[in-house]
């Protein structure tokens, strides 16, 4: 139950999601999710089968340049294939100031979709969550 509240707080406050409360009746969090090409997500979060969130740690400019286009494409495809409304890519980093401008530029260039959002968050602001699925009838 504690992870559920942490997850809701993270989504609502840290990411600024204005999802209605009923969306939070189903939550799923999976940690250390492997993607293609050796990329691994810190977390993959499903909020109410409407919002898909990828959290990935990136701490250098080269990784931003290489990973972001791939992560945007992969997340958008999964969002569309699964029928989600939105996709949020969260970059967890110790170097927000160094990464933010280029990540925002890549987002503007690579993504022409108002249902995709990018968040650059200090790594310390990403809570630990257990692998879990929560479903409220």
The pLDDT of residue 135: 87
pTM of the model: 0.94
Q: Is 77 exposed, middle or buried (0-12, 13-18, 19+ CB in 10 A)?
A: exposed
Q: Given the structure tokens 């294939």, which residue do they identify?
A: 81
Helix, strand, or coil (residue 25):
helix
pLDDT > 80? residue 1 = no
List, for residues 7-27, the tens digit of each pLDDT value: 899 999 999 988 888 899 999
The model's pLDDT over 26-47, given as tens digits with 9 standing for 90+, comes to 999 999 999 887 889 999 999 9
Q: Give the C-alpha separation, 134 to 43, whole Å.
A: 16
Long-range interactions of 8-17: CB distance < 8 A, separation 24+: 9/127, 10/126, 10/127, 11/45, 11/47, 11/51, 11/53, 14/119, 14/121, 14/125, 15/53, 15/88, 15/90, 15/117, 15/119, 15/121, 17/47, 17/51, 17/88
Q: Strand, helix or coil at 130?
A: coil
Q: What is the arithmetic mean of pLDDT over 46-61?
A: 94
Helices (H) and strands (E) in the chain, counts: 3, 6
């Amino acid at each position: 139950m504690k992870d559920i509240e942490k997850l809701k707080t993270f989504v609502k406050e840290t990411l600024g999601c204005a999802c209605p409360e009923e969306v939070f009746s189903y939550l799923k969090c999976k940690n250390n999710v492997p993607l293609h090409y050796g990329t691994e997500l810190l977390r993959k979060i499903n909020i109410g089968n409407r919002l898909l969130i990828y959290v990935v740690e990136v701490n250098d400019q080269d990784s931003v340049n290489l990973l972001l286009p791939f992560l945007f494409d992969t997340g958008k495809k999964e969002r569309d294939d699964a029928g989600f409304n939105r996709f949020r890519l969260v970059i967890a980093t110790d170097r927000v100031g160094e990464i933010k401008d280029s990540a925002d530029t890549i987002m503007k260039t690579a993504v022409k979709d108002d249902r995709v959002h990018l968040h650059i968050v200090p790594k310390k602001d990403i809570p630990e969550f257990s692998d879990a699925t929560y479903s409220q009838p």
